[in-house]
Amino acid sequence: MEFTIARGEVYLRISAILILVLAACLIAFDTQTKVIVFTIEKKATYKDVNALKILVYITSVAAGYNMLQLCKHSAWAYSGSKFERSYISMAWISLLLDQMAVYITFASNSAALEASVLAITGSQTFEWIKLCNRFTRFCSQIGGAMFCGYVASFIMALISTISAYRVFRMYSPKLYTVSE
């Protein structure tokens, strides 16, 4: 049972890493240039919106964190050690870091989504134009990246559930019963 859960966690972490890297690359390498008036060109990049810039950084850090966790799990698997009382603090730290990664990734995706909705709809109050009418390819690629970010957040939530299972399994009465 534990081996199956560990294998599932490895597959989930690899999936999260790939999707987070895909989301970061989709945002970071997305540019589109349009001619506004005769020779005046406007270039749309992720650097134009601070929420997208922060999203690139956070998805990159989250992918790196999942890679480090994957390395930690592979080191534990090769050492052949079982969970003992000395590993309880490490399991709690992993759970808390997994939770933080999920919440921060989800929050940054939501902030970027809010900024993107303003780019789609504009705001007459602030006299902001609808940017996605001009930069359609840029906006659709950003939308795909945000979808990837939400999928990665969901996968990391599943990973966090597995981490919680590992932590609370250590407090099971069956684990610490004395055999006669």
Domain ranges within the chain, ordered by starting residue: 2-74+86-169
Mutual orientation of helices 136-169 and 88-121 as an angle, nearest 10°? Answer: 160
pTM of the predicted model, to two decimals? 0.83
Signed CA dihedral, 136, 138, 140, 143: sign only: negative
Amino acid at 113: L
pLDDT one-digit tens code per residue, 84-138: 555 778 888 999 999 999 999 999 999 999 888 877 776 666 555 667 777 888 8
Task: Look at residues 114, 116, 95, 100 and name the one whose alpha carbon lies nearest to residue 153.
Answer: 100
Among 11-15, 40-44, 52-56, 67-71, name the one with the lowest average pLDDT.
Answer: 40-44
Q: How many residues are listed for the chain in this entry?
A: 180
> What 3-state DSSP class applies to 146?
helix
Q: What count of Cα atoms within 13 Å lies in the side-chain half-sphere of residue 140?
A: 5
Tell me the C-alpha distance between 107 and 52, whole Å.
Answer: 12
pLDDT single digits (tens) 46-85: 888 888 999 999 999 999 999 999 888 777 655 555 545 5
Give the number of C-alpha atoms closer than 13 A to the C-alpha of residue 28, restricted to the C-beta side.
13
